[in-house]
Amino acid sequence: MRSVDRAVSVLEILARRGEAGVTEIADELGVHRSTAFRLLGVLENRGLVAQAGDRGKYHLGAGVLRLARAAAVRLDVSQEGVPVCRDLADELGETVNTAVLDDFAAVNIMQARGTASVTAQDWLGRRTPLHATSSGKVFLAHMTPALREEYLGRPLHRFTDHTLTETSLLRGELERAAEQGYASTREELELGLVAVAAPVRAHDGAVIAAISVSGPVYRLTPDRLPRLGARTAAAAAELSRRMGYGF
């Protein structure tokens, strides 16, 4: 933990100073110069700091910008998604979530509940599996082929008797999800739970989030799913416009 704390301190020093040498950083940290040099080496290997030519000075690297952009996207999607998700929840009466992809898991970052879902489970902050959730299937459907195959090459956990663990069947579902604009699950994560989800895109067209509508199996019947899917896709398209897509 001390090393992590020191590494974060190095980043804070460089953010404040703009650039600094090994000796300056060591003095601020109160450590030996060799310790500061090792910390800088690790951070440089991860692209979080970079050395300014042959002057021996270090500054923040492009890796920090990458992390900052990722955090900003999550914040923007969460904020911009509030009115969209609330309107959808009020209209349909079901639970609406916005999820983002996080290291082969879907994480719900915003939730709105409709009048019919007052007793619904709280999904906010939960990490959920990609192959057994509607949001997860959206992310899988729009991943690069290499990343998708990496996920499908792993053992797929069966949560219920309805969970798709055969990769050939799952690939077929992902193809349909990409074609029709939404994905669905029926009691694949939890018995009695049905959900549909659609992709949210950034200004460059990349899928950065998914909006899902979930509810009990007795309300979200098979004949309702196409309409729910289309309505969810329309809400996701609205949020995509708010994120700059299509302009």
Alpha carbons 22 and 32: distance in angstroms, whole number: 10
Report whether pLDDT(147) > 90.
yes
Summary mean pLDDT of the chain: 87
DSSP letter assigned to residue 157 = P
Report whether pLDDT(160) > 80.
yes
DSSP letter assigned to residue 123 = -
Residue 17 has a pLDDT of: 78
pLDDT in tens, 15-28: 887 788 888 888 88
Mean pLDDT to the nearest integer, 238-243: 88
Contacts (Cβ under 8 Å, ≥6 apart) of 39: 3, 6, 7, 10, 25
* Segment holding 201, helix H or strand E: strand 193-201
Residue 84 has a pLDDT of: 92
Alpha carbons 131 and 141: distance in angstroms, whole number: 10
Residue 125 has a pLDDT of: 77
Indicate the burial class of 1 (C-beta count within 10 angstroms; 0-12, 13-18, 19 or more). exposed
Report whether pLDDT(189) > 80.
yes
Report whether pLDDT(118) > 60.
no
Residue 120 has a pLDDT of: 52
Using DSSP, state whether 104 is helix, strand or coil: coil
Cβ-based neighbour number of residue 177 at 10 Å: 23
Query: 212 to each of 88, 182, 184, 215, 224, how far by Cα in Å?
Result: 10, 9, 9, 10, 15
CA-based nearest residue to 17, from 54, 51, 60, 50: 60
